[in-house]
Amino acid sequence: MGYPHKPHPKETVVLSKHFGEADARTHKGWVKRGGYESLAQALTMEPARVIDIVKESGLRGRGGAGFPTGLKWSFMPKEKKKPHYLCVNADESEPGTFKDREIMRWTPHALLEGAAIAAHAIQAEVVYIYIRGEFTEPWAVMEKALAEATAAGVFGVIKLYLHRGAGAYICGEETALMNSIEGKRGNPRIKPPFPAAAGVFGMPTTINNVETLAAVPLILKKGAAWYKGLSLSSPKSTGTKLFSVCGHVQKPGNYEVTMGFPLKDLLYDLCGGMPPGRTLKACIPGGSSVPILNREETEGCLLDYEGVVEKGSMLGSGGVIVFDDSTDMVYQIMRLARFYAHESCAQCTQCREGTAWTTKILERILSGQGKTADLDLLLDLADNMTGKTICVLSDSCAAPVVSGIKKFKKEFEDYIAGRRKPVMVA
């Protein structure tokens, strides 16, 4: 299951066009597919012109926040007084998300080319590609691709290095990632200063997600208008997006569709729906950090930045987690809370204590020891964990809890009232 699968007719394969082709991983194979032409062209252009094209394309950050990429690049100082850096965020660790892994495994040169173009646009001479420590296979593929492309001299004066993480979800937060590169604990920094003013090593820095950068060479080659034209819906969400679908679907995997694609079609047509005899109960559309949607919301949801917000969640990283009617929502929400408790960097009290308390209360409910007041307590905690910390990890823990209690309250109440058999030991 999963990749490499034959693209579904409803997919729009742009980034994933060469997934599954081993030959595309080599420099020679990539050049044969028209690779590195965009970089060669970009290196002859004024950096400002490259930024303008990316701005016009409407490309937005694919890591989760959806910030306009060209605009982000334009925040870098125009006049270069200090070294500039580009960081590539390949620390993909958001539960439900596994698209960057596929890009690195199958089309490493798309990322390298996009990164070099971005470096040129922001006048950076050094690029650090931060790959999570557990991604042993993508690391090996990237290392080989980088060595081949460097030997072929395609990057000009730009130097690219891989930097291996060591097991910390929080290092996907941009400033934590920069601290990690500097050889520090991965604690997020207070902003401002923003990275474009003082990023890695205190120098102007831009940080982009793997999928964002992989789209850049094609935008330069085919034009901003082409990319914009791929959207099915809102003019604010353009291009294609890789959606990682996991959980209770028959064909989990990465699917590339245009922005504005119906979530319902993604789940039922492309992924083959739920296992036989089961029905959809809930869906987390953008990685575990966004609110949970119920069945009705899921089936009416359009996959673009605005469409998902309209249903009360967020597009995030495009990690779609599907739960069918056999799912114990209380248990899975506890499991997500435990994830955040484990991954909290412990700098901020609200997060360090809040994620741990949330987990403990949920475990108490699951062990049959819950009290009626626990649900209000969880919501009160969640309120204190939202918008009050250096980064959004604690907000991310609160999101599934709050939406879960709101939409699946009866399941919580059944445990508390003793109508449901405890599944954990107190």
Partner 1 sequence: MSVSAHPTPQPGTEEYHPVFVGKTLEQLGEILTRYPTKQAALLPALWLVQEARGWISDRNMAEVAEVLGLTPAYVKGVVTFYTMYHQHPVGKHFVQVCTTSPCNVCGAEAVVKALLDATGAKELGATSPDGKWTVIEVECLGACGFATPVLVDDDFVESVSAEKVPDLVKRYK
- Shortest approach of partner 1 to residue 321 CB, angstroms? 5
Q: Which helix (H) or strand (E) is 211 found in, with range?
A: helix 210-222
Cβ-based nearer residue to partner 1, 74 or 244: 244
The CB-of-355 to partner 1 minimum distance in angstroms stands at 12
Name 81's Cβ contacts closer than 8 Å, sequence gap at least 6: none
Tell me whether residue 284 or residue 385 sits nearer to partner 1 (CB atom).
284
- Which of residues 92 and 374 has its CB atom nearest to partner 1 in the complex? 92
Output the smallest distance, CB 97 to partner 1, in A.
Answer: 7
The total of other beta-carbon atoms located within 10 Å of residue 296's CB is 11
In the complex, minimum distance from the CB of residue 237 to partner 1, in angstroms, rounded to a whole number:
23
Which of 363, 275, 359 minimizes the C-alpha distance to 322? 275
**In the complex, what is the shortest distance from the CB of residue 350 to partner 1, in angstroms, rounded to a whole number?**
20
Nearer to partner 1, 38 or 180 (CB): 180
Closest CB to partner 1 among residues 80, 228:
80
CB closer to partner 1, 77 vs 223: 77
User: Which residues have C-beta within 8 Å of that of residue 158, sequence separation ≥ 6?
Assistant: 116, 119, 120, 124, 125, 126, 127
Both structure tokens of 242: 């890789």
Among candidate residues 370, 94, 53, 80, the one with its CA nearest the CA of residue 203: 80
What are the residues whose beta carbons fall under 8 Å from the beta carbon of 212, sequence distance 6 or more?
A: 59, 60, 61, 62, 63, 69, 114
161 has which bridge partners? 128
Where does this chain bind partner 1 (CB under 8 A)? Answer: 1-2, 83, 92-98, 100-101, 132-137, 159, 161, 163-169, 180-186, 201, 244-248, 252-254, 288, 319, 321, 323, 327, 332, 335-336, 339, 342-343, 345
Contact 156/119 with Cβ under 8 angstroms?
Answer: no
Contact predicate 242/16, CB 8 Å: yes
Please, what is the minimum distance in Å from the beta carbon of residue 415 to partner 1?
A: 17
Which CB, 6 or 225, lies closer to partner 1?
6
Q: Specify the residue, 72 or 101, whose C-beta has the smaller distance to partner 1.
A: 101
Rounded to the nearest whole angstrom, what is the least distance from the CB of residue 201 to partner 1 in the complex? 5
In the complex, minimum distance from the CB of residue 363 to partner 1, in angstroms, rounded to a whole number: 14
- Nearest approach in angstroms of CB 22 to partner 1 is 17
> Do residues 239 and 13 touch, judged by C-beta distance below 8 A?
no
In angstroms, the CA 285 to CA 317 distance is 9
Antiparallel, parallel or unpaired: β 159-164 and 126-131: parallel
Q: What is the DSSP letter of 287?
A: B
**For residues 55 and 164, which CB has a smaller minimum distance to partner 1 in the complex?**
164
- Report the Cα–Cα distance between both ends of the chain, in Å, rounded: 38
